[in-house]
Amino acid sequence: MDSIWINAPAKINIGLDVIRRRGDGYHEVKMIMQSIRLFDRLTLTKTKEPGIKLTTNLSYLPVNEDNLVYQSAKRLMDEFHLGGGLDIKLDKRIPVAAGMAGGSTDAASCMLAINDLYGLGLSKRHLMKRGVKLGADIPYCILKGTALSEGIGEKLSTIPAILIAKPNIHVSTKWVYTNLVLDEHTNHPDIDGMLASMKKRDLLSLSNQIGNVLESVTIPAYPQIAAIKECILQNGALGSLMSGSGPTVFGIFDDEDKAKKAFEDMKASGLARQIYLTRPFNQKIKSTRKNQRKR
């Protein structure tokens, strides 16, 4: 096999809590993540000329060592002394800097593709151990599906439709974590309660509990995010939340017709630049270890 392609799914955070900032600068987080049917696509082709050549459809993305795809490919090629070179084409569809793990899922998918292309025989767990050295979200993006970062994963109740809306703003994840205040007044989301709702397959209860502690930083700085949430909720979403550090917002719907109307109303509102109507993307669920972030 000389060439392979792979879809790299985006993720949303059904719940995101930051427990504390550690002395070494890392944040301990507890979050429920869900893969969705919004993909980037990578095509990898072996070449006789040594080295890695990365190209993308977005001119402003780096195509060198500053790109996680390049880093993930180099890590495996160097470790296993893979001969020849590799041509990687990245077709980017997931919004950039959107809190949807776009860069992490591309790197994870690149590692999965190289594992197959060269017949390395690495398990997902082995790939996850290598991926975490490049980024905290990469192990989950290798795993995919629904997972709690502390090591418990449960299958999510069936969700017919998810609306994704990203405004024309960019949010620095480092800035959000730097400005996050954790004290006795912090409103922490009930991650355990969400898991209980997932186990019961109670979508309404889950949607009523979703929460993201990072909204306390991002929304005051970017009120447009709150306006998007309100528009989604007014169109019948069971729940709406900012994903990751933002600015992307998603809404959970139990009715496809409502979701389609929300999609059209969101387009007409002008609040968001990128809008998608999608569904969950599930694979076999396993657990992941506690996720730690350095911002």
Q: Annotated active-site positions, please?
A: 11, 137
CB atoms within 10 A of CB 78: 9
Q: Is 102 helix (H, G, I), strand (E, B) or coil?
A: helix
Instruction: Give CA–CA dist 32/252, Å, rounded.
Output: 15
| 28 sits in which H/E element | strand 26-47
**How far, in Å, CA of 199 to CA of 155, rounded?**
7
Q: How far apart are CA 158 and CA 285, in angstroms?
A: 14
Phi, psi torsion values for 131, nearest 5 degrees: -65, -35
Beta bridge partners of 20: 28
Tracing tokens 């730690």 back to the chain, one arrives at: 292
CA–CA gap between residue 288 and residue 244 (Å, rounded): 18
Separation between Cα atoms, residue 88 and residue 185, nearest integer Å? 47
Which SS3 state, helix, strand or coil, does residue 239 take?
Answer: strand
Please give the backbone phi and psi of residue 119, each rounded to the nearest 5 degrees, phi first: 60, 45
Strand partners, 42: 6, 90
Structure token digits, residue 294: 């350095």
* Among 80, 58, 272, residue whose Cα is nearest residue 163: 272
Give the β-pairing of 51-56 and 85-91.
parallel
Longest dimension (CA), the chain: 59
To which H or E segment does residue 194 belong? helix 191-199
